[in-house]
Amino acid sequence: MRVGLPVLLASCVAFLGCDRCKQKGHEAYHNGDFRGALDNYTIACQKGDGEACRYVGEMYEDGEGTAADIAAARRYYHAACRLEDTVGCFRLGYSWDPAVHADGHAKHAVDAYARACEADDAESCFNLAVLYDNGVGVPKDLDRALAIYRKACDLDDPDGCGRAEMTLDELGRGPVNWKLARESFAKSCNRDSLLGCYELGVMLDDGTGGEPDRHRARQLFIQTCEEKSAAGCYRAGRMWRQGRGGVRSLEQARSYFERACAGRDGNGCFLAALTAENGEAGQADIGIARKHYRAGCDLGDIESCCNLGSLLLSKGDGGLEEKEGLALVEKACADGDRIGCQIVIGRILRKPESERNVSDLERLRVRTRKLLVEECDDGHAESCLDLGIMVEKGEGGPASPDRARKRFEAARTLAAKDCSGGNLFDCTVHASTLVEGRGGPRDVKRARKILTGTCSTGFPPACEQLAEIDAGDAGVPQSR
């Protein structure tokens, strides 16, 4: 839209000063006359009032008194910024921020935020630090991000204080004052900061910087989800799925994961797909699972790409979908997804021995074992179990019964802990260690009890594993 000065207001230019036109704009706006407000603010802007230019930009962005037009809004914000309106510089940066607008331009956002930050605008400093933190529009630079977070903190932005401590931890420099970070996010949340409430929820859930309060954490994630935080929807879904901070509801979990996916959260897409594939909260729906896996994959979520590839491979028709599936799992493996590597290994092993590439097989096993070590050391129960099996068999490295036993013990301990904390899948892992006698005595009766309780929540993989036990064919669960 071409933005120009309405001819009908020529008299205002002649008889009213800049401040008077802006005042008339205020009066019109508060009386609900948005068109009149826009016309008067436009005159004041053209007479060199940067604040008025910003008001015009906000009205174009919000569609007040005119059709919404982000391009026009940016032009007026740019004018406001050039006229040294600091908030106008912030609004310009925000309008270009790719985290806010799909058509954003990170470099423009950086330039505008930097100018406002130099004028001591705390929110601009914080947003600029985030861009350096994530490497968006500028090379990733945690040291610079830390310095700018600290400046935002000094300007009384509590989110800056909290993120400064988090960045200090990421840089490996201590000591980190987690108590201060938690207090800062609580202060920010009390000021209605979406980020502050989300980060406070994470710390309350994890018990970082103080005692855990999962009931409050769940409330905060639900609140931030309602305020359009996709990450909040994802965390709320996890708490509903695991029964953390309140009752368990797989129906609610699936709903929140779908909302997270709609908000372009790759983790949300993955779990929305997984719950659909597993049939949690209803019948399994592979079509919906594929849809969400593809959305997650398009957002760069490796697990989504891997599971989409697995579904496409399951057709086994040798067509284009199977070729796409193989490409996806191979890429997932190359990107560090051990499930992708395991799928590729499985495909090689299904070939006749004469057709197997032994060097490729060994290379994949070495890579998979390395990935499993990392995941097991990070506390992933299923990875410890799979790693124990590889070490026991001497796949991807030397065989060692003693090392295998230690990995199995870790798997059983971690799975039991996570199961008691509401992780349904780890309940099936715990049951597997009991049925197979890995990491401790064999105890099928206890495994059946665990799976019966897990199945009763509506988690199909547990029901399927329970049926396998009853049929005398218990095995390691194959779903994530």
Per residue in 179-224, pLDDT (tens digit) is 999 999 999 999 999 999 999 999 999 999 999 999 999 999 999 9
Structural domain ending residue among the three candidates 67, 84, 101 = 84
Mean pLDDT computed over 430-438: 96
pLDDT at 480: 44
Give a yes or no: residue 74 inside a domain: yes
Residue 432 sits at the vertex; the CA angle it makes with 426 and 435, to the nearest 5 degrees, is 145
- Going by C-alpha positions, the residue among 367, 479, 476, 364 that lies closest to residue 430 is 476
Give a yes or no: residue 322 inside a domain: yes
Instruction: With a cut of 60, say whether residue 267 has pLDDT above it.
Output: yes
Give a yes or no: residue 362 inside a domain: no
Per residue in 364-396, pLDDT (tens digit) is 999 999 999 999 999 999 999 999 999 999 999
Q: In this structure, what CATH number is given to the domain that contains residue 23? A: 1.25.40.10
Compute the distance between CA of residue 419 and CA of residue 465 in angstroms, rounded to an integer: 15
Residue 347 CB partners (closer than 8 Å, separation 6+): 313, 326
pLDDT at 174: 80
Strand, helix or coil for residue 100:
coil
DSSP assignment of 404-468 equals HHHHHHHHHHHHHHHHHTT-HHHHHHHHHHHHHT-SS---HHHHHHHHHHHHHTT-HHHHHHHHH
Structure tokens at 371: 């990935």
Instruction: With a cut of 60, say whether residue 295 has pLDDT above it.
Output: yes
Please report where in the chains the tokens 């990450």 appear, as a residue: 231
Give a yes or no: residue 330 inside a domain: yes
Structural domain ending residue among the three candidates 84, 104, 130 = 84
Instruction: With a cut of 50, say whether residue 12 has pLDDT above it.
Output: no
Compute the distance between CA of residue 72 and CA of residue 91 in angstroms, rounded to an integer: 13
Exposure string for 21-43, b = 16+ CB within 10 A, e = fewer? bbebbeebbeeebbebbbbbbbb
Structural domain ending residue among the three candidates 84, 109, 136 = 84
Point out the least confidently predicted range of 278-282, 376-380, 409-413.
Answer: 278-282
pLDDT at 11: 37
Compute the distance between CA of residue 91 and CA of residue 89 in angstroms, rounded to an integer: 5
> CA torsion, points 178, 184, 187, 192, in degrees to nearest 10?
-110
Q: Grade residue 473 by pLDDT with cuts at 50, 70 and 90.
A: low
Instruction: With a cut of 50, say whether residue 476 has pLDDT above it.
Output: no
Report pTM: 0.83
pLDDT at 100: 86
pLDDT cut 70: percent of the chain above it: 94
Give the number of domains in the chain: 2
Give a yes or no: residue 347 inside a domain: no
Give a yes or no: residue 168 inside a domain: no
288 with 295: CB under 8 angstroms? no
Give a yes or no: residue 138 inside a domain: no
pLDDT at 5: 36
Mean pLDDT computed over 423-428: 94
Give a yes or no: residue 1 inside a domain: yes
| More confidently predicted of 476 and 121 | 121
Domain that holds residue 21: 1-84
